[in-house]
Structure 1
């Protein structure tokens, strides 16, 4: 259980859901251990938050546990989005613990925000990666362009029946993506990022970017890929990329977006360090709850 997540499901304002998907990680797998590792490295934190004068255990957080993953990403996303929609229907905010970044598509589908805000080292705007349209490297493209619609059309060529089609038809496009901390991508991804529905803020510009003004009251979903941090701070991730953000810069983004957000996730934590990535992920999750509850 996430420390301090003591509320019952019926009384919860926030619901922690683990999503240990680990099938497309490119270089260093291990995200299947992410959700439980995040919970474990949250144990040293004090219950009380001085800035907001709140106790985490008083914020009505419930830990639902993990939604067991299997090896069909599209099918799993369809199932996971259903679980998260139940949370939203109960007027609670889903707190999704990954797992690879692919799981974010389920969170966005459940929440249906106007803006997708993402802390990430990578653009994740590929159409496919190694022939796979449901990959940690394509998740933002799936969210941004949408993979479904009223007519049931979708990118990907899945059969017209079956769970895969249900999954791809579920995700509707958001109005805009704001990716903070991106510092790498393919030429095609950078070309896609030039479109009006994408705003990319380089790591060195994040601290001075007026994110609150940019959101302008629009509803948001916030995704934190832990590799947005410089790997010196969070080495336990699948695709580390130097010259990244400092933890305080990530914290400030979380505090800014949280009051405007209807959903949150933190993803791409694995077991390849001594807990630095998991500790950062857990702290950012708590920062989201404190900032949201205090708004």
Structure 2
């Protein structure tokens, strides 16, 4: 049988934080800063390859592996139009045979990323959601129905999203009792940050891959605040006790081959320190691309200890 062609990736910016109703706004500036940081990484490509020291391996990196598709048609005053444009960007990128990476912006963008992936084909979608928070708020007077507190709730309502095959990683501290009731009723798996610290990223990633195995497609949704603010100060909210930068990178490396799209949100240049968080976000994107592998593969077998 002929070999399956390597997947190619397209970066889409969504410079929008109009749904950042809590915490600090400012994530609209993140796509530009992350793109700048990507240049530091991409200049290490030589002759269609890049060398990953984490595993001591050369990886293919041809010219068309990674492309910048520009920004989606954000409408600053119109949340619904912006969410629709983001979903269209994800869907159209998939229709072109490429893997979309949607850069927020605030975490309301989880919903259109899931929507675009769901609209791109038949079958079910699982969401692997890395976040300090559950984002399962239905609605309230101040935040409405679409905010950075409700992205996962709105995604769970999409007919194609298999909530029981989805999983949340990195949550910590306190949340609404109504979110617990929703999780229990829907069978939504949650692996909090404390459990990841105890068990290590290798075992957790293996469990996640087994959990999403029944879904046809997978969205990797990454809110930067799943990482401890000591490692990612440029975030919309600070929750101590989060993942280390190493744990986050290792999880992305291990999960990337199974993911059909990625959305990365809540990087906030206004609270960042010396571009530390934008740089980390760029490395998360780079590892997602480099370790994404072929469709359906289990990915590299890292020897790193979590």
- TM-score category (smaller protein): 0.7 to 0.9
Aligned position for 1:98: 104
TM-score normalised by L of structure 1: 0.82
Following superposition, which runs of at least 4 residues in structure 1 exceed 3 angstroms of deviation? 55-59, 172-176
Deviation sequence 1:251-287 (CA, Å, 0-9, x none): 2221222111110111101112121211111111111
Aligned position for 2:14: 19
Change (3 A) 1:180 1:108: same
Tell me if structure 1 keeps the 8 A contact 2:7–2:292: no
Aligned position for 1:175: 163
Residue among 55, 72, 78 paired with 2:78:
72
The two structures, once aligned, show a CA RMSD in angstroms of: 2.0
Aligned partners of 2:148, 2:228: CA distance in 1, in Å?
Answer: 19
Aligned partners of 2:183, 2:222: CA distance in 1, in Å?
Answer: 19
User: What is the 5 A alignment of 1:80-91?
Assistant: 80-91=86-97
Aligned position for 2:177: 187
Residue among 267, 270, 273 paired with 1:269:
267
Q: Give the superposition deviation at 1:214.
A: 2.0
What is the DSSP-based 3-state SS (H/G/I as helix, E as strand, rest coil) of the residue aligned with 1:16?
Answer: strand
What is the DSSP-based 3-state SS (H/G/I as helix, E as strand, rest coil) of the residue aligned with 1:22?
Answer: coil
Aligned partners of 2:7, 2:106: CA distance in 1, in Å?
Answer: 26
Aligned partners of 1:41, 1:56: CA distance in 2, in Å?
Answer: 18
Change (3 A) 1:49 1:266: farther
For structure 2, the residue ranges without an aligned partner over 5 or more in a row are: 1-5, 119-123, 298-306
Aligned position for 1:143: 155
TM-score normalised by L of structure 2: 0.79
Tell me if structure 1 keeps the 8 A contact 2:10–2:101: yes
Q: Give the superposition deviation at 1:49.
A: 3.2
Residue among 126, 129, 147 paired with 1:115:
126
Q: Give the superposition deviation at 1:15.
A: 0.8
Aligned position for 1:127: 138
Count, aligned residues:
261
Change (3 A) 1:224 1:49: farther
Between 1:226-235 and 1:55-64, the stretch displaced more is 55-64
Change (3 A) 1:44 1:30: same
Q: Give the superposition deviation at 1:24.
A: 2.1
Aligned partners of 1:246, 1:101: CA distance in 2, in Å?
Answer: 20
Tell me if structure 1 keeps the 8 A contact 2:73–2:86: no
Aligned partners of 2:182, 2:71: CA distance in 1, in Å?
Answer: 34
Deviation sequence 1:139-188 (CA, Å, 0-9, x none): 00000123xx6xxxxxxxxxxxxxxxxxxxxxx54333311001132121
Change (3 A) 1:12 1:145: closer
Q: Give the superposition deviation at 1:58.
A: 4.2
Deviation sequence 1:46-86 (CA, Å, 0-9, x none): 33232351254546211011124222212211122112211
Say whether residues 1:287 and 2:287 are aligned partners.
Answer: yes
What is the DSSP-based 3-state SS (H/G/I as helix, E as strand, rest coil) of the residue aligned with 2:232?
Answer: coil
Aligned partners of 1:42, 1:83: CA distance in 2, in Å?
Answer: 21
For structure 1, the residue ranges without an aligned partner over 5 or more in a row are: 1-10, 150-171
Aligned position for 2:247: 249
Tell me if structure 2 keeps the 8 A contact 1:56–1:286: no
